[in-house]
Structure 1
């Protein structure tokens, strides 16, 4: 599965606008740098898994809404996972990403 970062950026922008939020407000909620969200929405920057998770929490949705265009109904579980990822360092995030990649390829 190849990710379409242009479409991901559009989905993030659409959700932000649905909530009536400015980019700067979302950047503050998601602890992102100045103009980073603008770059993501215009597909200039490619967000990490951690950033996608933080944006999902800030925009009160789930990462799958951004990644594949569908919304999961168990929003609290995504928030819990996002909060677990937030304090991780780069090495821990890399390991978490590897595990999630492996897990997504399993037929459970």
Structure 2
């Protein structure tokens, strides 16, 4: 399978814009060099696997969104749950963990 770096760059740019982030902000979050993201988005530079992973983390997605253009629905569900948990206090997180442990012990229907 040959990777289309133009398309990968377009997908990265789309996700960044979807989140309302500037290139410089994402570069800082992903700990990559200044202007490197611009080069990746325009396909004038080929990102390493490590850089793709850092960008995926910074842009709160999975590398497959960039590589093949899809985010598995299961990943979306996990992301939605994570977003609900993010603002909780330590006590609330403990309660959520207890509930999830109980729920996991229930037989599937």
Q: Note the aligned Cα RMSD (angstroms).
A: 1.2
The structure with the larger Rg is: 2
Q: After the TM superposition, which parts of structure 1 deviate over 2 Å for at least 4 consecutive aligned residues?
A: 72-76
Q: Which consecutive residues of structure 1, in runs of 5 or more, have no partner in the other structure?
A: 77-108
CA deviations 1:37-87 (Å, max 9, x no partner) are: 0000000000000000000000000000000000033377xxxxxxxxxxx
- CA distance in 1 between counterparts of 2:8 and 2:49 reads 12
Aligned to 1:25: 25
Aligned to 2:11: 11
Q: Which consecutive residues of structure 2, in runs of 5 or more, have no partner in the other structure?
A: 79-109
How many correspondences in the alignment? Answer: 76
SS of 1:74's partner is: helix
TM-score scaled by structure 1?
Answer: 0.68
TM-score scaled by structure 2?
Answer: 0.67
